[in-house]
């Protein structure tokens, strides 16, 4: 009989991709995926360590699982992801309910660890074996058939921003072989995938050398462009330092690359960017923005902001606000600085909590109003939407426009996987609402 595995995923797109690949792997040793919390023989928690209390969230979640399985047979409990990498042995000592701790660069060992599992022996796998990991997964079919799917091209980070744990949890930068990425993309397209988002911690730092040719993310985009069944290409998360001319050029040559870029800046103050070790200035960021807008004025931006980084004065904060107003980001993430163990910024003096909360509120108020303004601009217009699925329990479809806005509309489910024109009737901050347009109407 098949055993069932349940994976709960926190964190970024990379964790989402990894969880799917873990499913692909454990399937080979007889595990099937269950969506039910209380029905698993193996429970995997794929964790994120990026901000505060990450560790506590994990123990809290394990406590919940313990209660659920109180009167049932205990499943094998695996903690995976970035907290697993950062905390490793500590977790096994603190919470005996956990059986296995496995870091992101050791997932190729998961089948072996499960096959050899013994209730009496706890296991920890946290080596940085990135090459072996990708070699292993290259031999396992990617079964994702979501209309919009992620594809990891690069992992890890060498930039060491002073606030960030990623270089410690994901290890050094590694770019996958060009041909392996393209064959995985082909697999996805054969599964029915219509939109591929290339992902990596520094996705545009992708660089792979073979026979003296260096392949960049621009080469991947150009190659993906050739698949006629693929309708859209995106990438995330990019770093301003790696927005090279060849990538910028793709916005004039590619018909499938979407006109929406998530390009984190973190702060609008050069002083703070320097303190963060971001290695780019506000002016360099604006230069990228201007170049892209010149190529195509409909390109829009979203970003990440860290509010109240140690040393941020009222003036520095106002510089961030001015930048947000100037660029008119259409969708962004903002969080108060959270000291992470082991990072350079963890020892610095924090800004008063009340001031930080006020700054965050002010930032989000502006970001959210810009988002709403953008959404309102679609009202009574026709927009192109890639239809992803039928909504649960509703007679409506769900899809996304070029700018990743959720769009909910009336229409036939035969449209799933197609790019259709939707007439927008109303909106809120997060979503657009409408109906499929008559033929012959032209999208704005
Ligand atoms: N590599 C991307 C870049 O450099 O822009 C970002 C990747 S990181 C996983 C995602 C976001 O988390 C960052 O852009 C930053 O805004 C946020 N972040 C990272 N460390 C943080 C910290 N210590 N406190 C608050 N936010 C943090
Ligand atoms: Fe973290 Fe900076 Fe690397 Fe992004 S570039 S993953 S923020 S260290
Ligand atoms: Fe979190 Fe690790 Fe992603 S810390 S944001 S899951 S790379």
Going along the chain from its start, the domains and CATH numbers come out as 3-127 (3.40.50.12160), 133-374 (3.80.30.20), 382-436 (2.40.50.140)
User: Are the CB atoms for 434 and 409 separated by under 8 Å?
Assistant: yes
Place of tokens 């998530």: 262
Atom of ligand 2 nearest to the CA of 160: 8
C-alpha 211: how far from its chain's center?
31
The CB-based long-range contact list for 372-375 (8 Å cut-off, 24+ gap) reads 372/427, 372/428, 372/429, 373/328, 374/300, 374/328, 374/330, 374/331, 374/403, 374/405, 375/405, 375/427, 375/428, 375/429, 375/431, 375/432
170 Cβ below 6 A of ligand 3: yes
Please report, to the nearest 10 degrees, the dihedral formed by the alpha carbons of residues 242, 245, 246, 248 taken in order.
90
Residue 144 to residue 148: CA distance in whole angstroms: 9
Strands 3-9 and 42-47: parallel
CA of 162 to the centre of ligand 2 (A): 9
Strands 213-216 and 207-210: antiparallel
pLDDT at 392: 84
278 Cβ below 6 A of ligand 2: no
- Output the six-digit token pair for 273: 């960017």
Strand partners, 306: 335
19 Cβ below 6 A of ligand 3: no
User: Are the CB atoms for 125 and 102 separated by under 8 Å?
Assistant: yes
Ligand 2 pocket test, pick from 202, 267, 277, 337 with the greatest ligand atom count within 8 Å of Cβ, gives 202
Residue 81 to residue 101: CA distance in whole angstroms: 9
pLDDT at 232: 98
User: Are the CB atoms for 405 and 373 separated by under 8 Å?
Assistant: no
12 Cβ below 6 A of ligand 3: yes
By alpha-carbon position, which residue is closest to atom 2 of ligand 2?
A: 161
47 Cβ below 6 A of ligand 3: no
Strand partners, 302: 262
pLDDT at 440: 55
pLDDT at 442: 56
Which phi-psi region, left, alpha or beta, contains residue 56 (left: φ > 0; alpha: ψ -120 to 50)? alpha
157 Cβ below 6 A of ligand 3: no
84 Cβ below 6 A of ligand 3: no
161 Cβ below 6 A of ligand 2: yes
pLDDT at 269: 98
In a 10 Å sphere around its CB, with 0-12 CB exposed, 13-18 middle and 19+ buried, how is residue 397 labelled? buried
Q: Which residues contact 234 (CB under 8 A, 6 or more apart)?
A: 195, 196, 197, 198, 257, 258, 260, 404
160 Cβ below 6 A of ligand 2: yes
CA of 71 to the centre of ligand 3 (A): 33
Residue 127 to residue 225: CA distance in whole angstroms: 36
Which pTM value belongs to this model?
A: 0.96
pLDDT at 53: 83
Residue 62 to residue 55: CA distance in whole angstroms: 11
11 Cβ below 6 A of ligand 1: no
State the 10-residue block means of pLDDT for the chain, 444 residues long: 92 97 97 92 96 88 94 95 94 95 97 94 93 96 97 97 97 97 98 98 97 97 98 98 97 97 98 98 98 97 98 98 97 96 96 98 97 96 96 91 96 93 96 85 56
pLDDT at 441: 56
Q: Which residues contact 313 (CB under 8 A, 6 or more apart)?
A: none
By alpha-carbon position, which residue is closest to atom 7 of ligand 1?
A: 201
Residue 93 to residue 244: CA distance in whole angstroms: 46
156 Cβ below 6 A of ligand 1: no
User: Are the CB atoms for 254 and 299 separated by under 8 Å?
Assistant: no
Kindly list the distances between the CA atom of residue 233 and the CA atoms of 204, 370, 402, in Å, as whole numbers in the listed order.
Answer: 14, 25, 10
User: Which ligand is in closest contact with the Cα of 157?
Assistant: 2
Kindly list the distances between the CA atom of residue 229 and the CA atoms of 26, 186, 388, in Å, as whole numbers in the listed order.
Answer: 29, 10, 15
CA of 162 to the centre of ligand 1 (A): 10
CA of 77 to the centre of ligand 2 (A): 30
pLDDT at 2: 82
User: Which ligand is in closest contact with the Cα of 266?
Assistant: 1
Strand partners, 85: none
236 Cβ below 6 A of ligand 3: no
- Output the six-digit token pair for 190: 């054969």
Q: DSSP state, 344?
A: G
CA of 164 to the centre of ligand 1 (A): 6
Q: How many CB atoms lie within 10 A of CB 387?
A: 25
25 Cβ below 6 A of ligand 2: no
48 Cβ below 6 A of ligand 3: yes
């Amino acid at each position: 009989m098949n055993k069932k595995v349940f994976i709960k995923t926190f964190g970024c797109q990379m964790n989402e991709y990894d969880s799917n690949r873990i499913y692909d792997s454990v399937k080979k040793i007889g595990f099937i995926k269950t969506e039910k919390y209380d029905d698993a023989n193996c429970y995997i928690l794929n964790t994120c360590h990026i901000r505060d209390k990450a560790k506590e969230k994990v123990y809290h979640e394990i406590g919940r699982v313990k209660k659920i399985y109180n009167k049932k047979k205990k499943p094998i409990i695996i903690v995976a992801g970035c907290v697993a990498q950062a905390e490793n042995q500590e977790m096994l000592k603190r919470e005996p309910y956990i059986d296995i701790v496995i870091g992101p660069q050791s997932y190729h060992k998961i089948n072996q660890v499960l096959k050899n599992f013994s209730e009496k022996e706890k296991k920890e796998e946290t080596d940085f074996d990135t090459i072996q990991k990708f070699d292993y997964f290259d031999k396992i079919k990617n079964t994702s058939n979501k209309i919009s799917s992620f594809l990891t091209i690069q992992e890890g980070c060498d930039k060491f921003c002073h606030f960030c744990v990623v270089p410690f949890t994901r290890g050094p930068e590694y770019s996958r072989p060009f041909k392996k990425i393209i064959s995985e993309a082909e697999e996805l397209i054969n599964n029915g995938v219509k939109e591929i988002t290339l992902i990596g911690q520094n996705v545009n730092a992708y660089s792979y050398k073979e026979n003296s040719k260096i392949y960049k993310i621009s080469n991947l985009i150009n190659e993906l462009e050739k698949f006629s069944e693929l309708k859209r290409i995106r990438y995330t998360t990019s770093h301003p330092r790696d927005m090279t001319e060849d990538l910028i050029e793709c916005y004039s040559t590619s018909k499938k690359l979407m006109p929406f870029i998530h390009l984190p800046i973190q702060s609008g103050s050069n002083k703070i960017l320097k303190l963060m070790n971001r290695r780019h200035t506000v002016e360099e960021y604006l230069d990228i923005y201007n170049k892209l807008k010149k190529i195509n004025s409909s390109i829009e931006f979203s970003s990440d902001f860290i509010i109240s980084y140690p040393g941020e004065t009222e003036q520095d904060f106002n510089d961030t606000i001015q930048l947000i107003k100037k660029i008119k980001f259409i969708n962004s993430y903002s969080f108060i600085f959270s000291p992470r163990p082991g990072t350079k910024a963890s020892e610095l003096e924090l800004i008063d909590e009340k001031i930080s909360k006020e700054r965050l509120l002010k930032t989000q108020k502006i970001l959210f109003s810009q988002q709403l303004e953008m959404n309102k601009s679609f009202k009574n217009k026709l927009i192109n939407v890639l239809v992803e699925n039928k909504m649960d329990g509703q007679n409506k479809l769900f899809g996304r426009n070029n700018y990743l806005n959720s769009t909910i509309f009336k229409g036939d489910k035969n449209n799933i996987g197609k790019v259709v024109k939707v007439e927008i009737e109303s909106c809120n901050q997060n979503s657009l609402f409408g109906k499929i347009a008559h033929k012959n109407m032209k999208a704005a």
